[in-house]
Amino acid sequence: MVKISQNLIRRMPKYMRVMGELQEAGITRVSSAELGRILGFTASQIRQDFSCFGEFGLQGYGYNVEHLREEIGKILGTDRGYTAVIVGCGSIGQALINNFNFVDHGIDLIAGFDVNPERIGTVMNHVPILDISEMGKFIKAHNVTVAVLAVPKAVALKTANDLIEYGIDAFWNFTNVDVVPPYSNVIVENVHLSDSLLVLSYQKANNE
């Protein structure tokens, strides 16, 4: 497989999302020109993107929506049977447990961990909340793929280090702390809400 650029990786979920919307609308095939109109990309950009992963389209026919969605899913790893735990079941952790559809992303959310005795032992949206002291054992026993980090800022680094020790190498990080040094071989996908709002503020300030 050819080397995929960071920008292309970021476009792939968008393609996946649009394929899902087309499928829901009952559309079975789509041309690169139509996809371009929906996404605001050029048709040649789209053809070039897909060519990095092999040939999905047929000249004169376009792309089969279902097939393309499946192929993009495979590229994105949604068929790998990944599992996740949420570490920190406060406000953000609970919002994710109750609202975010992990299964749609091919990921099974199997537990939450917390230090608060009022939360430990409860079940939120079918997900058991366990004592954080049991986390190491649980992660090893269940071969957990992804740790969703939603603990308070002050304990973010320590918790991440513990998780790495338990074998976690993929973090979905909501703590607004850079938990892993750059160039480490641990994968971190940051949801830096703070940065995101500041970018919006900048754009607003420079749009006036």
Shortest CA distance to 171 belongs to which of 150, 199, 140? 150
DSSP assignment of 86-152: EE--SHHHHHHHHH--GGGGTEEEEEEEES-TTTTT-EETTEEEEEGGGHHHHHHHHT--EEEE-S-
Binding to its own copies by residue 36, rule CB under 8 A?
Answer: no
Q: Helices 65-76 and 6-24 sit at what angle, rounded to 10 degrees?
A: 140
Residue 90 or 133: which CB sits closer to its own copies?
A: 90
Minimal distance, residue 60 CB to its own copies, in Å: 27
Q: Which one of 47, 64, 106, 122 is in contact with its own copies (CB under 8 A)?
A: 106
Contact segment (CB under 8 A) with its own copies among 44-52, 53-61, 101-109, 129-137 equals 101-109
Binding to its own copies by residue 176, rule CB under 8 A?
Answer: yes
Minimal distance, residue 159 CB to its own copies, in Å: 17
- Terminal alpha carbon distance of the chain: 45
Q: Which one of 31, 34, 39, 162 is in contact with its own copies (CB under 8 A)?
A: 39
Site residues, its own copies (CB under 8 A)? 4, 9-10, 12-14, 16-17, 39-40, 75-78, 80, 82, 90-92, 94-96, 98-100, 102, 104-107, 145-146, 169-172, 176, 181-183, 185, 187, 189, 191-207
